Structure 1
Amino acid sequence: MIWNHMQPESRVGRDFMKTKLLAGAMALALVGCSEKPAEAVREAPAYDMAPVDASEAVSTQAIPAPSAMRSPNVSVTAAPGVAFNYAYAFRLDDNRIAKVQEEHAAACEALGTTRCRITGMTYRLVRENEVEAQLLFKLDPAIARKFGRDALGSVEKAEGVLAEARISGEDVGTQISDSQRRSADIDAEIARLEARLKQGGLGDRERTELQQQISAMRRQLDGERDNRRAGEAMLATTPMQFDYVGTGGLPGIGYGNPFSDALNMLIRSGSVMLSFLLVVGAAILPWAALFLLLLTGWRTAPALAIRKWLNGASKTSAAPTPPAD
């Protein structure tokens, strides 16, 4: 009986042990599953990226230094309908400005008048060894950027630098489109008013008013047409301005020559002194001449005789008269 009583307990114990073993096995399985992804992450191979072309890679070495930077290259195709205006200022030695200016003018002439025209030229000697010059062009927009870049290259060959670059643009294309829309609206309004005139049954006053409105709108159409032509002309040619400035002469002195300045100062001082002496002499000389003339006349023989006669007369008048007897 005791055996029968213990037998169920042992069966329950065995079931309990099986349950514990099963739970432990499941726990180990879960731990193993959780560790495998971690190991997979730790052991994941480093995938090679697609090779990048060195020319396409962005490198700090490819960025030019500030001193080597050029003017921004804005292409006409990058901004269609925009009328650009280029202005460059070149700094180089004064004695090389004329040669570089001639090279730029010759480069424009070589392109032909249909692609490049010189509209203005200035060369001025401000003072000794100080030169200022300017060139004005009208260029084909397609070659304007290249022309400016080539001009800078010739300046650099002459040991000059780009001192300033200004590129301004005006959205002429949008203005032309807006003008075309306004013209279309005006045409539609003119057609409506003309149709009203053709209907008949209008009084003289109303007919006159409609005709005046149509005339005003036609003048407005002419103005819009002129504006579009001006915009098209701006798009057809690109103005370009070259200013040439000197390097500033000698360091610490500039354009001036100290020896020449000293000589000029000496000459100016001598001129001032000579002018002063002449003015003083002109003021004193007449009185001095009059004094010398009087002194000379005082010493002549007639003057001496007159003085003696005057002295004798004065003595006679001064002598006492004798008393009468």
Structure 2
Amino acid sequence: MAIQTRLLVPVLAALVLAGCSKSSDEGSTKPPAAADRKADGSRIGVTGGDGIAVTYQYSVRIPASEVAGLQEEHARACEGLGPARCRIWGMTFSVIGDRSVAATLDLRLAPADARAFGRGAIDTATRRGGMLTDATIDSTDTRIATTAADAGSRDAERDRRALAARLAAATTPAERQSVQAMIEEAEGRQEELGGQKADAAASLAAIPLSLHYTSGPVSPPLDRGPFLAAIDDGWDNVVGGLAAILLIVITLLPWAAMALAVVLGGRWVVGRLWPVERGPTEARPDTDAPGGA
């Protein structure tokens, strides 16, 4: 019996260890999955988060003939989302020097739509023959401003209540007037701080997204080698130099022609008014030899 007991102890210990090992394996499997889900759910990145206000700015270059159409297509895409998800905040379009075009489109989007809308806008510009030249995504922690506004509002409310008590105990008109002015100042601080808090909340509810359009030649793909890039840059320099020379010649040619006309006209007038007097013509010596007898 003692021998059987000694044999059962190792078996029971092995079973207990196997069960603990299985439990630890299951536990070690479930927490990472939960941790992954938590990481995915709390990932903020550039799409904002609790108290984080994000702003998006994109600049694209596109042929001048496509600027208006691209801007209109982006505006229609915003309107297609509906006013609850996207609003047009402002639009500009201008022709500069009859040769280049510049335009802007300012939008306010729901936080869940801002990043996807920006990606779609760049894809649309690329499809129309344009290219992305600049992208800026910035964020601001509005919790700092909100906390400061709450603290300042509490201080202003405490001051207002103390001043209200002083006003009730004031005995002279001058004292009441002075205390009333301080109460109005405290109320003004409260109103200003409330506006700051409202602005912070609005920046979280509507994400600003700005699109800037400029016309111009679209650069070749960035993966081209340095040799082809050098050829393109050299050719652009040659064309630019010839254009500059032609511009200088065209600009100075009328003035040069005018200066030449003034010089020739002046010489003609001087010649007519003050003719040059010529001296007596010297007699030509006779070249015939005297005849002999």
Give TM-score, length-normalised by structure 1: 0.56
Q: Give the aligned residue type for 2:257.
A: L
TM-aligned CA distance change 1:226 to 1:278, over 3 Å: same
Q: Give the aligned residue type for 1:74.
A: V
Unaligned runs of at least 5 residues, structure 2 = 1-27, 37-43, 221-231, 278-293
Helix, strand or coil: the match of 1:142? Answer: coil
- Which of 171, 174, 177 does residue 147 from structure 2 map onto? 177
CA contact 1:138–1:238 (8 Å) conserved in 2: yes
Give yes or no for the alignment of 1:144 onto 2:114: yes
Superposition deviation, residue 275 in structure 1: 1.4
Give yes or no for the alignment of 1:286 onto 2:269: yes
CA contact 1:108–1:118 (8 Å) conserved in 2: no
Identity over the aligned pairs, expressed in percent?
25
Superposed CA deviations along residues 164-193 of structure 1, whole A, max 9, x for unmatched, are 211122223431232123212322332233
Q: Give the aligned residue type for 2:92.
A: M
What aligned pairs does 1:102-117 form with structure 2 within 5 A after superposition?
102-114=72-84, 115-117=86-88
What aligned pairs does 1:1-325 form with structure 2 within 5 A after superposition?
74-76=46-48, 79-114=49-84, 115-125=86-96, 128=99, 130-198=100-168, 200=169, 202-204=170-172, 206-245=175-214, 246-247=216-217, 251-252=232-233, 253-254=235-236, 267-268=250-251, 270-291=253-274
TM-aligned CA distance change 1:279 to 1:141, over 3 Å: farther
TM-aligned CA distance change 1:290 to 1:248, over 3 Å: farther
Unaligned runs of at least 5 residues, structure 1 = 1-48, 57-71, 296-325
Superposition deviation, residue 260 in structure 1: 6.7
> Root-mean-square deviation (CA), in Å?
3.8
In structure 2, distance between residues paired with 1:136 and 1:238: 11
CA contact 2:47–2:54 (8 Å) conserved in 1: no
CA contact 1:105–1:118 (8 Å) conserved in 2: no
Helix, strand or coil: the match of 1:141? Answer: coil
Give TM-score, length-normalised by structure 2: 0.61
Bigger Rg, structure 1 or 2: 1
TM-aligned CA distance change 1:125 to 1:209, over 3 Å: closer
In structure 2, distance between residues paired with 1:236 and 1:112: 15
Superposition deviation, residue 261 in structure 1: 6.4
TM-aligned CA distance change 1:101 to 1:197, over 3 Å: closer
More displaced stretch, 203-212 vs 159-168:
203-212
CA contact 1:248–1:254 (8 Å) conserved in 2: no
Q: Which residue of 2 aligns with 1:3?
A: none
> How many residue pairs end up in the alignment?
225
In structure 2, distance between residues paired with 1:140 and 1:179: 25
